[in-house]
Chains A and B, each alone.
Chain A
Amino acid sequence: MKRAKLLGLQLLVAVLFLLVWHVFTAYPILAPVKQSQFFFSNPFDVLIRAGKEFATGEIWRHLGITLLETVLAFAFGALGGILFGFLFARRELLAAVFDPYIKAANALPRVVLAPIFALWFGLGIWSKVALGFTLVFFIVFFNVYQGVREVSPVVLANARMLGMNERQLLRHVYWPAALTWVFSSLHTSVGFALVGAVVGEYLGSSAGLGYKIHEAESVFDVTGVFAGMLILSIFVIIIDACVTLIERRLLVWRPGPSTSGRG
């Protein structure tokens, strides 16, 4: 009952938004139709264009490439983040020495790196993977670092009293504790992997969703831009739903329904 009502209200927002958009672009209210459509297109045109993209099958190739870049960026970023997070959390000196450099690197807006990466790795997928990597790495790194350092001292003391050696502690205590933090930041890091891929494509490439949007933008094809954004949104929602599914499976031991931090 409550759920149905919520869904109804959510749909109402979408319908109202589309209605306003349609009315102002299909009728000469604020400006002539031609002019307002040039700037804002029209919801039906956007829908038709998006449908046509799928009908011709042209879009699948671009989606595939963006997905591949996202997955690679996430995989490498997560791997690097876990590795260095562990290392720094277990070696105080290393963490202390590199602290200012990591903070500086993390504070840098990654967009400025995109041209450099294009220069180093070419216009193919690897420059986008590199951009996504720099985003994912720091999220996972900080989470693992935190996770390993904040392992409950009692759980740790107990495990040691059970006779566990360093390797067993790593496997049964530190690793699961760190993974918890990685999983709880899964939404954020996967999202950033996608951002890296799309922004990279947008700034210079010959395939992918970001490329599609950029291509439409460069010829003032507003309908094409909006259609690209629509497809991107649907893509993101599907990926996010998959992540939620994975997260539910992996964090079954956690109390409460998904207390994951989305920050």
Chain B
Amino acid sequence: MSLTDQASAVSLRNLAITFGAKEGGYTAVAAIDLAVRPGEFIAIVGPTGCGKSTLLNASAGLLEPSEGDVAIFGAPLQGLNRRAGYLFQQDALMPWKTALQNVAVALEPKGVPHGQALDKARDWLRRVGLAAFVDRYPHMLSGGQRKRVALAQMLIRDPEILLMDEPFGPLDAQTRQIMGNLLLELWAADRKAVLFVTHDLEEAIALADRVVVMSAGPAARIIGEFPISLPRPRDISEIRLEPAFHHIHKEIWASLRTEVQKAYAQGEGTTP
């Protein structure tokens, strides 16, 4: 079907999500129109509690939109998004499984035989730099290593869409850059569609093809989209030093700033 081939990987149309009762509920996001092209890396930035994660959960099928619709490669989304992988901000590994088991189990729903799944999982753990840690349980790994396992767990299934909810948020600055580079390197191999949520504008610019800026909640909207034309392959720690980077940063920050100040004025506590 040529129509499906042309379709966006993820398309959100006139999306609104309200928590609680219709009347007097909390509207997290409203009137969202966003399309992620196949192979495109989109970063969503916005002030704390603006509903960035809500968008992601709607795209994953974990949340049902109150208004509007979600389409995946042209088909309306029903139930969970089977074509997407999700990287959570919090630790989502099964604590009772080793790194290897955690990654291998991701292939079980696909019906891959166990032995074969283990081999593949070993290979993926090697690719994320954890070859020496396959038999460790999550609590024996550092935060960065756990994220690597989670990354391998998501990628081993070869999803067509990657949804990431501030995945590197809990990590320290150096580890974040290393993880960012690892992500770009893995992504460059087969360019999936990515929806990457972050509150760190620099991270967003360094990673993405397009940065989407959201307003402060409630009823957060998209207030700007900025294509990032920095050349690839990129090195996250070096790209920050380039004049073009600063230019883009300045431009986006100008629109983001008022929203961040608005969010602060409301008190930061308004999380969705």
A interface, CB within 8 angstroms of B: 152, 154-155, 157-165, 168, 172-173, 176-177, 180, 252-255
Q: Which of B3-11, B104-112, B183-191, B249-257 contacts A (4 or more CB under 8 A)?
A: B104-112
Q: Which residues of B contact A (CB under 8 A)?
A: 60, 62, 80-82, 84-86, 88, 90-98, 105-106, 108-110, 137-139, 150, 153, 157
Cβ A172 vs Cβ B109 within 8 A: no
Contacts of A172 in B (CB 8 A): 94, 97, 105, 108
Q: Specify which chain B residues have a CB less than 8 angstroms from the CB of A159 in the assembled complex.
A: 94
21 A–B contact pairs at CB < 8 A? Answer: A152-B92, A155-B95, A157-B86, A158-B88, A158-B92, A160-B62, A160-B80, A161-B81, A161-B84, A161-B86, A162-B106, A162-B157, A163-B82, A163-B110, A168-B108, A172-B105, A173-B94, A176-B94, A176-B96, A252-B137, A253-B98
Taking CB atoms, residues of chain A closer than 8 Å to B84 are 161
A159 to chain B, nearest CB (A): 7
Q: Is the Cβ of A162 less than 8 Å from the Cβ of B97?
A: no
In the assembled complex, which residues on chain B have CB atoms less than 8 Å from the CB atom of A253? Answer: 95-98, 137-139
Instruction: Report chain B residues within 8 Å CB of A162.
Output: 105-106, 109, 153, 157
Given contacts A252-B137, A253-B97, contact A164 B109 (CB under 8 A): yes
Count of inter-chain pairs, beta carbons less than 8 A: 65
Q: Please name all residues of chain A whose beta carbon is closer than 8 Å to the beta carbon of B85 when the two chains form the complex.
A: 161
- The DSSP consensus for interface residues of chain B is loop
Choice from B90, B96, B108 contacting A154 with Cβ under 8 Å: B90
Considering the complex, give the chain A residue whose CB is closest to the CB of B57. Answer: A157
B91 & A154 in contact (Cβ 8 Å cutoff): yes
| Shortest Cβ distance from residue B81 to the other chain A in the assembled complex, whole angstroms | 8
B109 close to A154 (CB less than 8 A): no
Q: Which residues of B contact A154 (CB under 8 A)?
A: 88, 90-92
Check B88–A157 contact: CB distance below 8 A.
Answer: yes
User: In the bound complex, what is the Cα–Cα distance between A254 and B85 (angstroms)?
Assistant: 27
Lowest 10 A-B CB distances belong to which pairs?
A158-B92, A163-B109, A255-B139, A253-B137, A161-B86, A176-B96, A154-B90, A154-B92, A162-B106, A253-B96
Chain A hits for B60, CB < 8 A: 161
B contact residues around A165 at 8 Å (CB): 109
Q: Nearest Cβ distance between residue B18 and chain A, in whole angstroms?
A: 20
- In angstroms, how far is the closest chain A Cβ from the Cβ of B96? 4
Distance between B142 CB and nearest chain A CB, rounded to angstroms = 13
- Give the shortest distance, in Å, between B246 (CB) and chain A (any CB): 36
The chain B residue sitting closest to A163, CB to CB, is B109
Closest beta carbon of chain A to B258's beta carbon, Å:
33
A165–B94 CA distance with the chains assembled, in angstroms: 16
Q: How far is the CA of A172 from the CA of B150 in the complex (A)?
A: 16
Q: Specify which chain B residues have a CB less than 8 angstroms from the CB of A160 in the assembled complex.
A: 62, 80
**Nearest chain B residue, comparing its CB with the CB of A156:** B92
Distance between Cα atoms of A154 and B87 in the complex (Å): 10
B94:A155 contact, CB within 8 angstroms: yes
Q: Which residue of A lies closest to B80 (CB)?
A: A160
Q: How far is the CB of B143 from chain A (nearest CB, A)?
A: 14
Q: How far is the CB of A249 from chain B (nearest CB, A)?
A: 13
When distances are taken between beta carbons in the complex, the residues of chain A under 8 Å from B98 are 253
Bound Cα distance A173, B96 (Å): 9
In the bound complex, CA of A254 to CA of B138 (Å): 9
Which of B81, B95, B98 has the largest number of chain A CB atoms within 10 A?
B95
Give complex CA distance A5, B106 in Å: 50
By beta carbon, the residue of chain A nearest B62 is A157
In angstroms, Cα B85 to Cα A163, docked, is 9
For the complex, give the distance between the alpha carbons of A165 and B92 in Å: 17
A173 contacts across to B, CB distance below 8 A? 94
Q: Beyond A160-B80, A161-B86: 15 further Cβ-contacts under 8 Å? A: A154-B92, A155-B93, A155-B95, A158-B86, A161-B62, A163-B80, A163-B157, A165-B109, A168-B109, A172-B94, A172-B108, A173-B94, A252-B137, A253-B97, A253-B98
Q: How far is the CB of A66 from chain B (nearest CB, A)?
A: 33
